[in-house]
């Protein structure tokens, strides 16, 4: 399984997700353009000293990511999806795709995913989305639970 972040913008979120990736031994793909430098102090601080244990791959762009053949299914997560992530039957080779903090996944990316786009339900009409690192954590641990790994 891989966590895939498309154009992340906030270094603290990416650092927290990298820490999650290290803790769960889940690979992490970052697809640019990134909204920060990989040398950013906030990114490093959020990831603490776990960076050496992150299986990290950085891709220049969505197009360059798409040019490389990868095994597994690409599964998207968006606040605009209508199906709950709890309905997803996760696979060990899934690539879990999350969009940038301010805009999420673009309509074009979502359309390309077809029915493989899920949401984390939010009860309050006053909250439009969850923090990216929280959303990734929820999905990763549900996937690991389903796969019998936690």
pLDDT digits (tens, 9 = 90+) for 101-126: 999 999 999 999 999 999 999 999 99
pLDDT number for residue 47: 65
Q: What is the CATH number of the domain that holds 113?
A: 3.40.1280.10
Band (94; pLDDT cuts 50, 70, 90): very high
Letter string b/e over residues 105-142, b meaning 16 or more CB atoms within 10 A of that residue's CB: beeebbeebeebbbbbeeeeeeeebbebbebbbebbeb
pLDDT number for residue 38: 84
pLDDT greater than 90 at residue 5: yes
Which contiguous run of DSSP H or E holds residue 95?
A: strand 95-98
Tokens matching residue 25: 């031994």
Radius of gyration of the chain (CA): 14
Model pTM? 0.94
Which contiguous run of DSSP H or E holds residue 96?
A: strand 95-98
pLDDT number for residue 42: 72
Provide the angle, in degrees to the nearest 10, between the axes of the packed helices 132-146 and 11-24.
20
Q: Where are the alpha helices (DSSP H) in the chain?
A: 11-24, 41-47, 62-67, 107-113, 132-146
Range of the domain at 116: 2-146
Least confident of 43-47, 84-88, 94-98: 43-47
Closest to 121 in 3D by CA, of 87, 74, 75, 71:
87
pLDDT number for residue 41: 75
What's the chain's average pLDDT? 93
| Overall domain count for the chain | 1
Whole-angstrom distance, CA of residue 125 vs CA of residue 5: 26
Q: Where are the alpha helices (DSSP H) in 58-127?
A: 62-67, 107-113
């Amino acid at each position: 399984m891989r966590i895939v972040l498309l154009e992340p913008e906030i270094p603290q979120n990416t650092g927290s997700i990298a820490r999650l990736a290290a803790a769960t031994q889940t690979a992490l793909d970052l697809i640019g353009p990134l909204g920060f430098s990989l040398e950013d102090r906030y990114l490093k601080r959020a990831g603490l000293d776990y960076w050496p244990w992150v299986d990290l791959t950085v891709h220049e762009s969505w197009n360059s990511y798409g040019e490389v053949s990868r095994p597994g299914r690409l599964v998207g997560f968006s606040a605009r999806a209508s199906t709950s992530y709890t309905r997803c039957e996760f696979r060990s080779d899934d690539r879990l795709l999350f969009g940038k903090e301010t805009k999420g996944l673009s309509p074009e990316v979502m359309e390309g995913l077809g029915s493989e786009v899920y949401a984390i339900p939010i009860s309050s009409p006053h909250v439009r989305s969850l923090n990216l690192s929280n959303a990734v954590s929820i999905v990763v641990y549900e996937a690991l639970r389903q796969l019998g790994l936690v």
